[in-house]
Amino acid sequence: MNWCPELGTVLANEEVIDGKSEVGGFPVVRKPMRQWMLRITAYAEKLLADLDTIDWSDSLKEMQRNWIGRSEGAEVDFQIADCRLPIADSKIRVFTTRPDTLFGATYMVLSPEHKLVDQITTPEQREAIARYKTQIAGKSDLERTELAKEKSGVFTGAHAINPVNGERIPIWIADYVLASYGTGAIMAVPAHDTRDFEFATKFALPIIEVVKPSECDGARAVPARSAPVRSGTHEHSKNSVPNDALRPGTGRAPAEAFCELGVAINSSSTEFSLNGLPTAEAKKKITAWLEEKNLGKKSINYKLRDWLFSRQRYWGEPFPIVWKKDAAGNLYHEALPESSLPLLPPSLEDYKPTTDGQPPLARAKDWLNLPDGSVRETNTMPQWAGSCWYYLRYLDAKNGGAFVGKDAESYWMGTTGCKLKVESCKSDSSAPQPATCNLQPATPGVDLYVGGTEHAVLHLLYARFWHKVLFDLGHVSTAEPFFKLVNQGLILGADGQKMSKSRGNVVNPDDVIEEYGADAFRLYEMFMGPLQDTKPWNTSGVAGVYKFLGRVWRLFVDEPSETEFEQAETTADCSRGCESAESRALTSAATKLLNLIKLNAAIKDVAATPAQLKTLHACIKKVTEDLDGMRFNTAISAMMVFVNDAIAWETKPVAVLREFLILLAPFAPHIAEELWEKMSKVQSPKSKVTDAGSTTLDIGHWTLDSLPYSPWPKFDPALLVEDTLEIPVQVNGKLRDVIRVPAAADNATIEAAALASEKAKPYLAGKTIKKIIVVPKKLVNIAVA
């Protein structure tokens, strides 16, 4: 694994607001701490590329792509040009995605934290630089970004040499350059970058245009028009046309100056020229030249940072690491042997960090110090350590020898066939269609993961990373953990706002279940709209599906008469805590009540009529297809249609109702099971026999003919065929009539029937028929002029 200890500055400001902790309001200070990092950046490329092999929403994939933030460009070295300085031989390295604009680099900017700042600052600028750095250091990161509207910075007094044309350019520091990205230093090209432009304008720095826009015509049209195709990398800004008032007196049209792609101009030296080259080619040429002259090289940068993986808390997995000293007294670390795993946290009376800022585990002196003089690591892992692999542990939760057994892993997470496909696809890049890696019928990994978007860039990226490491080490069968992922939409409060305690709009499921039952609650959540959509909660909607379940109930059973019910209820009226005699009375009353509930008298063991079969099979078709597509809302409405129809049947065939219960079971399992049981009790032996493959075999609580073991109904398309069809007749696309024709009618017959329509005729009178479109089984449209 890529555990890597790093000594460095860690900003302990995760929960900082204005320098105070979010909970408790304690002052927050930054201090250097030894922390563990996971080198997730080493997997940036794989994490990015393999997004193409999984079935996730585009928006989620895009979020991960943006988070990884791959940028292709070049690193370029600028020689420092002040011989007065003691480090005159040093170079400043910058990263740029637009090496082709190097001739337009008119100044440089270092982040205030850049390690060369103090060394290059000239004596006369020292005070101003120090003041700026102090000012920046006193601000939280949040304040720094909030104040970003106005550019600020200070000249260091030093200069550097632009390697392509030998120009002396000033070196500034400014907080718009981040220490943590790229090299912490930039070459500024104000003619082609909004931020550089703002800065140059404010501090009167020169602006030289080096790209002539080729595809953006029109003086001010840039932001309105679609930009030329982007390469997917992070280019310089392509919008923000500055005002004339802001524009320096160069006389150039600002719209053109900010066009993204074009042809290089003003880009030549005595030995080298980019002029006339389109941006893409100019990039290639200058990068090759820089590499040849040893002035720079092609480079790829990521926004993704290595992952700070230690916490100073008690509750977390302790690192299985000990610290030792070598002969010279230098500290080094070793992993515990496997025989010492798993490493459990020690018992503590006090879970707080020590007064000198050590993690809580440092309090466990007996645990901390080992007999051989080595000392345990006291940081603990964050909660991600569990969420990154729990799905693997679930496969083999009781395995004491491994995190997951080989057999269990390959059985659940992959098939041999799948694994081969993934691998052959990876190793053989010349394979003609990489699409064969995608969407194989036997899906590798977790087949379906339903989760919220809040996990888009943390959990879902971290888990993919861990899984890939395990894959590369040969512990798992697939390169990706979650094959298909669906983001369920957020359920908002009744006021259309996100539920939160502070808004007081939280709906507690327990309360809803108390009033309407778990079936109604579950059904409503599925009925309210598409799974992926955000939608507001509406309690009267629960009442609606509750009513539907009531209709289902009455479709199957005859309620006792009010008198019967009241008689039984009187005896049963006993709250909890009855004496045992009363309890017995209660039990017998409850039995009485149950006996009063009888199967609907209309339910008979008879053959279904064609109309009934049609209703049933239309429902089977819709529910089956919608379940596959996770369109639960429309599946439920199909069942409502069925019930509305079936409740009016004078005779209700047992076999039809049984199949309906199987459809209902995934949506409302409790009521479905209850009704199924009632049906079984009164079912005649004859209908039991007709159920294919159903024998009474006791397997614990359920028998093979109980609901969960019943085969899912198959719909028969032949039963859905209509004898006659209703065909709308349109004239010039407007509905004028609906005609009935035999289902077997050919186009000519339908056309003739449409032309004969009394209602359509007035719209045809005196017009020339240009064309008649007959859409088989759908409609007729008569185009007239």
What residues from 729 to 768 belong to the interface with RNA (CB under 7 A)? 730, 732-736, 738
N- to C-terminal Cα separation, the chain: 76
Min dist CB 774 to RNA, Å, is 9
Task: Please state at what angle helix 539-556 crosses helix 509-516, rounded to 10 degrees.
Answer: 30
Q: Which residues pair with 625 in a beta bridge?
A: none
- Specify the amino acid at residue 428: D
How are beta strands 107-110 and 154-161 bridged, if at all? unpaired
Min dist CB 568 to RNA, Å, is 18
Single out the residue of 145, 214, 436, 587 in contact with RNA (rule: CB under 7 A): 145
- Those residues with Cβ within 8 angstroms of residue 411's Cβ, 6 or more apart along the chain or in another chain: 395
Min dist CB 378 to RNA, Å, is 30
Binding residues for RNA, rule CB under 7 A, total 93
Nearest to 464 by CA among 34, 25, 38, 19: 38
Q: Rounded to whole angstroms, how far apart are CA atoms 177 and 153?
A: 10
Contact in structure between 610 and 723 (CB atoms under 8 Å): no
Single out the residue of 46, 159, 195, 621 in contact with RNA (rule: CB under 7 A): 195
53 exposed, middle or buried (CB, 10 Å; 0-12, 13-18, 19+)?
A: buried
Q: Of 234-242, 435-443, 564-572, 711-719, which part binds RNA (CB under 7 A)?
A: 234-242
Task: Give the residue with the Cβ less far from RNA, 457 or 585.
Answer: 457
**What is the DSSP code string of 369-401?**
B-TTS-EE---B--THHHHTTHHHHGGGTT-SS
Task: Give the residue with the Cβ less far from RNA, 48 or 779.
Answer: 779
- Those residues with Cβ within 8 angstroms of residue 421's Cβ, 6 or more apart along the chain or in another chain: 436, 437, 440
Does the protein bind RNA through residue 494 (CB under 7 A)?
Answer: no
Q: Of 140-148, 424-432, 677-685, 692-700, which part binds RNA (CB under 7 A)?
A: 140-148
Min dist CB 523 to RNA, Å, is 10
Q: Of 12-20, 223-231, 357-365, 680-688, which part binds RNA (CB under 7 A)?
A: 223-231
Does the protein bind RNA through residue 231 (CB under 7 A)?
Answer: no
Does the protein bind RNA through residue 98 (CB under 7 A)?
Answer: yes
Answer whether the bond into residue 669 is a cis peptide, omega within 30°: no
Does the protein bind RNA through residue 721 (CB under 7 A)?
Answer: no
Contact in structure between 783 and 767 (CB atoms under 8 Å): no
The upper half-sphere exposure of residue 702, i.e. CA atoms within 13 Å in the direction of its Cβ, equals 11
Nearest to 203 by CA among 122, 128, 140: 128
Min dist CB 528 to RNA, Å, is 4
Does the protein bind RNA through residue 325 (CB under 7 A)?
Answer: no
Contact code string over 162-181 relative to RNA, x by CB under 7 A: -------------xxxx-xx
Contact in structure between 120 and 156 (CB atoms under 8 Å): yes
Contact code string over 53-72 relative to RNA, x by CB under 7 A: -----xx--xx--xx-x-x-
Give the CA dihedral 162, 166, 169, 175, nearest 10 degrees: 10
Task: Give the residue with the Cβ less far from RNA, 291 or 726.
Answer: 726
Min dist CB 353 to RNA, Å, is 28
Does the protein bind RNA through residue 641 (CB under 7 A)?
Answer: yes
Single out the residue of 303, 324, 670, 688 in contact with RNA (rule: CB under 7 A): 303
Min dist CB 750 to RNA, Å, is 13
Does the protein bind RNA through residue 648 (CB under 7 A)?
Answer: yes
Nearest to 281 by CA among 258, 255, 261, 266: 261
Does the protein bind RNA through residue 39 (CB under 7 A)?
Answer: no
Min dist CB 2 to RNA, Å, is 21
Task: Give the residue with the Cβ less far from RNA, 406 or 554.
Answer: 554
Does the protein bind RNA through residue 217 (CB under 7 A)?
Answer: no
Min dist CB 226 to RNA, Å, is 4
Q: Which of residues 369-408 bind RNA (CB under 7 A)?
A: none
3-class state of residue 231 by DSSP:
coil
Structure tokens at 309: 């993986």
- Those residues with Cβ within 8 angstroms of residue 158's Cβ, 6 or more apart along the chain or in another chain: 80, 81, 82, 85, 120, 121, 122, 170, 171
Min dist CB 602 to RNA, Å, is 14
Does the protein bind RNA through residue 781 (CB under 7 A)?
Answer: yes
Min dist CB 225 to RNA, Å, is 7
- Those residues with Cβ within 8 angstroms of residue 383's Cβ, 6 or more apart along the chain or in another chain: 316
Does the protein bind RNA through residue 135 (CB under 7 A)?
Answer: no
Q: Rounded to whole angstroms, how far apart are CA atoms 450 and 440?
A: 20
Does the protein bind RNA through residue 111 (CB under 7 A)?
Answer: yes
Min dist CB 649 to RNA, Å, is 12
Q: Which of residues 529-558 bind RNA (CB under 7 A)?
A: 529-530, 533-536, 538, 540-541, 543-545, 547-548, 550-551, 554
Min dist CB 116 to RNA, Å, is 14
Does the protein bind RNA through residue 131 (CB under 7 A)?
Answer: no
Min dist CB 151 to RNA, Å, is 6
Task: Give the residue with the Cβ less far from RNA, 221 or 335.
Answer: 221
Task: Give the residue with the Cβ less far from RNA, 162 or 683.
Answer: 162
Does the protein bind RNA through residue 140 (CB under 7 A)?
Answer: no
Q: Assign 3-class secondary structure to 104-172.
A: HCCEEEECCCCCCHHHHCCHHHHHHHHHHHHHHHCCCHHHHHHHHHCCCCEEEEEEEECCCCCCEEEEE
Q: Measured in whole angstroms, how far is the alpha carbon of residue 591 from the centre of its chain?
A: 51
Q: Which of residues 400-459 bind RNA (CB under 7 A)?
A: 453, 456-457
Does the protein bind RNA through residue 144 (CB under 7 A)?
Answer: yes
Single out the residue of 1, 49, 87, 148 in contact with RNA (rule: CB under 7 A): 148
Contact in structure between 174 and 151 (CB atoms under 8 Å): yes
Backbone phi, psi, residue 428, to 5°: -105, 90
Single out the residue of 95, 465, 483, 715 in contact with RNA (rule: CB under 7 A): 95
| Four-residue CA torsion sign, 310, 316, 319, 324 | positive
Task: Give the residue with the Cβ less far from RNA, 461 or 470.
Answer: 461
The upper half-sphere exposure of residue 712, i.e. CA atoms within 13 Å in the direction of its Cβ, equals 12
